[in-house]
Amino acid sequence: MEYETITLEQTDGLAVLTLNRPDKMNALTSQMRAEITYAMGEAANTARVIVMTGAGRAFCTGQDLGDAGATGKVDLERTLREEYNPMLEAVYDCKVPTIAAINGPAAGAGANLALAADVVIATESAYFLQAFARIGLMPDAGGTWHMPRQMGMAKAMGAALFADRITARQAEQWGMIWEVAEDEAFEACWRGRAKFLAEGPTEAFRAIKAAIRGTYGKTLSEQLTVEAHLQGGLNRTRDFQEGVLAFLEKRPAAFEGR
C-alpha cells in the first residue's frame, strides 16, 4: 500500500510510523486513520518493535476539523466505531511492543492515540491536552479508559473537565507516560529504547503485554493462572534457552525473537 498521510520505514526489526501532515500539525483525517490502521498491521508482521511519531513540530493535534464530514451534522458515533476504534485497537492490541515518541503537542484524539501505545516517551517541550470540552464534547478515542488507569481518577477527571495542558514533566510525574527526554536528546532516547526492544526476546514481550493488558477485572488467583500458563510457553522458547546460556557464559544474549 502506498501511504499519503504517513510514512513507514523498517530496518533491523524496527518500524517507524510517522504521522506526516506537518502543515496541519498531523491532525487526523479519515484517510490518515485508515493508513495508520493498515500500517500497524503491516509492520507487526515483520518488525519486532513499532514506533509512532510525528513529522514537524507536533505529534498529533487530534481530529482535523476541516476534514470532510468532521463538522456539521456528522455521525460521530459511526466515525468512532468505524474509523477510530479499528485504529486504536490496532495500536493497543499490536502483537509486538509499541512506543509513542511524542515530539510535540498531543491533543484530543492525538493524545489518546499516544496513550494506546505500550510505552510513551515525550520530548520535554511536548504537552498533552484533552481538548474535547472546549468544543462541547467528551474525551473519546480511548481517553476515558486510559486516563483513569494511568493518571488516577482525580487527575483524569480534572484533565477532561478543565481541558488544561499537561506538560511532559507533569505527565511523567503522574504516571501517565514512561519517560521524558530533553529536546536535544529526544530522538537518541527513543531510538535507544526501540533498539533494546528490537533486539530483545519478542515472545517474552508478547507475554508481558498479554499478562499486563489482561489483568483488569481478574482476581489474583486468576492472574496467577495466566502467569503460569504464559511462563510455561516461554520456558520452551529458544530465547529462554539462549538467555540462560548467555547468563551462564557471562555474555550478552543474542535473542532470535522466538
Question: Domain check: are 129 and 210 in the same one?
Answer: no
Taken in order 54, 156, 139, 39, the sign of the CA dihedral is: positive
- How many C-beta atoms surround the C-beta of residue 84 within 10 A? 21
255 falls within a domain? no
> In sequence order, what are the residues at sequence separation of 6 or more whose Cβ sits closer than 8 angstroms to the Cβ of residue 207?
230, 231, 233, 234
> What CA–CA distance (Å, rounded) separates 180 from 102?
9
* Same domain flag for 181 and 211: no
Is the same domain home to 187 and 206? no
pLDDT score at 68: 57
Identify whether 257 is part of a domain: no
Q: Give the CATH number of the domain where residue 219 resides.
A: 1.10.12
Check residue 256 and give its pLDDT: 85
What's the confidence (pLDDT) of residue 141? 96
**Do 22 and 93 fall within a single domain?**
yes
Q: pTM, whole model, 2 decimals?
A: 0.93
Q: How far is CA 15 from CA 33, 45, 205, 223, 237, in A?
A: 18, 11, 16, 32, 24
163 and 70 within one domain: yes
| pLDDT for res 257 | 73
Parent domain of 148? 6-198
Residues 123 and 209 in one domain: no
- pLDDT on residue 58: 98
Q: Are residues 77 and 192 in the same domain?
A: yes
Between the CA of residue 73 and those of 68, 76, 79, 197, what are the distances in Å?
11, 9, 12, 44
How confident is the model over 49-104, as pLDDT tens digits? 999 999 999 999 999 988 755 445 678 899 999 999 999 999 999 999 999 999 99
> Which pLDDT value is given to residue 165?
97
| Whether residue 62 is found in the same domain as residue 147 | yes
Domain match, 33 and 141 both:
yes
- The CATH number assigned to the domain holding 21 equals 3.90.226.10
In a domain, 1, yes or no: no
Q: In this predicted structure, what is the pLDDT of residue 30?
A: 95
- Residues 192, 72, single domain; the answer is yes
Please name which of 126, 149, 253 lies closest in space to residue 201, comparing C-alpha atoms.
253
Mean pLDDT of each 10-residue bin along the chain, 258 residues long: 94 96 97 97 95 98 78 78 97 96 98 98 98 95 96 96 97 97 97 96 94 92 96 94 93 86
